[in-house]
């Protein structure tokens, strides 16, 4: 009897992903599984709309208990990154433009290396932006920066308005710098700025410190002093990083 071999079926996205995942090295936890999935999402390995492998497949691929996978998927569902459809499975949500701020916020809570890298890159880019702005600003540019800083002062206890004006100040500085690549990059990580500022907005001294630091940046740009602008922005980034670290550390402290 002749046995006719059947043509190989193309692998589904779910099976491809299951093969891509590797076992977590240390003892499993919900956060470890969530971070692993986020890493693949951020790297573009998992596209919006993709149906994720079943819990059993994920658990086997990662070498963890199904309860860890279930908890991770539930957390990502709450964050709006994954949609759990009863009877159908778990899917990566559409709308990638909204994914970055959620991924960053989750990464901050978990101390994710990717977020630290973003903060480091942003620090250097902002210094270059301030230096170029001081070299290239005209009077009208300075007026716009002054307007953003005035809005920050006038925001009072309205955190959302303060953050909007703060972000506008930084993006305006990038525009004044006159380098389209630099401006595009800083605009693309606007989500990082927003998540960053939202986390630290309720820390004591944030508003007064941020205003003082922006004053120094503005003064240097107004004086057309590139070195001073770079130094003022570097100091602002140093203090902003310290406030971010304080916010993260406070999340890690056990509650009473």
Domains and CATH numbers, the chain: 27-92 (1.10.10.10), 101-252 (1.20.120.530)
**Helical axes 13-20 vs 55-62, angle rounded to 10°:** 20
Percent residues over pLDDT 90 in the chain:
36
pTM: 0.59
Q: What is the mean pLDDT of residues 211-239?
A: 96
CA distance 8 to 26: 36
Confidence grade of residue 3 (pLDDT, cut at 50, 70, 90) = very low
pLDDT at 117 over 50: yes
Task: State residue 253's pLDDT score.
Answer: 53
The three-state secondary structure class of 82 is strand
pLDDT digits (tens, 9 = 90+) for 8-55: 444 455 556 555 555 544 444 677 787 788 777 766 677 788 899 999
* Residue 243 reports pLDDT greater than 80: yes
Terminal CA-CA length for the chain = 75
Angle at 249 between CA 254 and CA 246, to 5 degrees: 135
SS (H, E, C) 98-126: HHHHHHHHHHHHHCCHHHHHHHHHHHHHH
pLDDT of res. 26: 46
- For residues 214 and 169, the answer to whether their CB atoms sit within 8 Å is yes
Contact 112, 34 (CB under 8 A): no
């Amino acid at each position: 009897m002749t046995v006719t071999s059947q043509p190989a079926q193309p692998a589904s996205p779910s099976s491809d992903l299951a093969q891509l995942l590797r076992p977590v090295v240390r003892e499993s936890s919900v956060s470890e599984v969530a971070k692993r999935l986020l890493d693949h999402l951020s790297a573009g390995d998992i596209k919006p709309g993709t149906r994720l492998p079943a819990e059993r497949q994920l658990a086997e691929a990662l070498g963890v208990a199904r309860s860890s996978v279930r908890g991770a998927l539930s957390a990502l569902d709450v964050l709006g990154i994954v949609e759990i459809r009863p009877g159908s499975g778990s899917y990566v949500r559409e709308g990638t433009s909204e994914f970055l701020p959620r991924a960053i916020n989750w990464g901050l809570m978990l101390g994710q290396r990717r977020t630290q890298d973003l903060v480091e890159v942003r620090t250097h880019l902002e210094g270059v932006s301030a230096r170029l702005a001081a070299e290239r600003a005209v009077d009208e540019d300075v007026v716009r920066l002054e307007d953003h800083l005035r809005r920050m002062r006038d925001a009072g206890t309205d955190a959302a308005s303060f953050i909007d004006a703060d972000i506008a100040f930084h993006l305006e500085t990038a525009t004044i710098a006159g380098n389209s690549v630099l401006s595009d990059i800083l605009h693309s990580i606007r989500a990082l700025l927003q998540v960053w500022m939202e986390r630290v907005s309720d820390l004591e001294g944030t508003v007064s410190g941020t205003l003082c630091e922006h004053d120094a940046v503005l003064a240097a740009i107004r004086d057309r002093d590139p070195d001073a602008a770079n130094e003022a922005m570097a100091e602002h980034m140093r203090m902003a990083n310290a406030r971010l670290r304080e916010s993260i550390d406070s999340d890690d402290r056990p509650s009473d």
